[in-house]
Amino acid sequence: MLGRLGYGTWQFGSGGADDYWGLEFTDDMAVALLKQATAAGVTYVDTAADYAQGGSEKQLGRALKALAPDARAKVVIGSKILPNNCGDVRKYTEETLARLDVPCVDLYMVHWPINASSMAHFAGDRTAAGGRDYATTGALQKEGKIKHIGVSNFGVRQLADALETGVTIAVNQLAYNLLTRAIEFEILPFCRQRGIGVLAYSPLLQGVLTGAF
C-alpha cells in the first residue's frame, strides 16, 4: 500500500564531484536515509535503470537488505525502463531485477514516451532500438516478475496510444508541485477517467519549495 509520500533515489549510486549531484553517495548514506524514510512511514521507493547508469538500483538493492524484516515487507519498489530499450523489455527487466536483487519489481514504468524526441535524448551505447513491446511486459507480469505496469511523463496522446495496445496502466508518474501544474489541464482528468493513478515527482521542486533556500 502506498503512503502519501515516496522516497526518490535518483542520487543513489552517485560517483563523486564530477557526477550530476556533485558528491559520492555511499552505501552508509543510502542505508541511513532509507531507514529514516521508512521509520517516518514512507512505503514507496522510486528508482530507475537510468539513474547512475544502474548504480541507483544496485545501491537501493543493498540498502533494502539492511532494513528490518517488518520494514522491508512494507516497501513498494518502483523502477523504470528507458524508451530506447522498450524493444527488448525482457532483457532490461531482468537486468533491473538483478541489480535490485529481487525476484519481482512492484511497479515497472516506461520512463519517457516512446517517441523520436525521447529516444534521441537518451541515444548512446547503453540503449537499444526502440519499440512498444507491451505484450512482453504483460507476459512478465503473468510470470510474477512485474506486479504493476506504469508509465512516466506520458501526455494524453501517449497514454491513449499505450492503452490501445490493451495494456493496463496502473500509474503515470509526472512532475507536479505548486509551481509545476500543467498536468491539471488535461492529463489529470484523463487519468481519473481511466482509473490511472498519478505519482507526483519533485513535489518540493528538488528542495526549492522547502523554504531552506
**Residues recognised as catalytic:** 51
DSSP H or E run through 13: none
* Distance in angstroms (rounded) separating the CA atoms of residues 56 and 99: 9
Three-class DSSP category at 155: coil
Q: Which residues contact 206 (CB under 8 A, 6 or more apart)?
A: none
**Nearest residue to 110 via CA among 180, 163, 185:** 163
* Distance in angstroms (rounded) separating the CA atoms of residues 113 and 153: 7
Cα distance from N-terminal residue to C-terminal residue, the chain: 33
**Cα 186 → chain centroid:** 22
Q: Rounded to 5 degrees, what angle do the CA atoms 70, 37, 47 make?
A: 95
Look up residue 162 and give its three cell numbers. 499505450
Whole-angstrom CA distances from 109 to 10, 117, 174, 208 are 15, 18, 12, 26
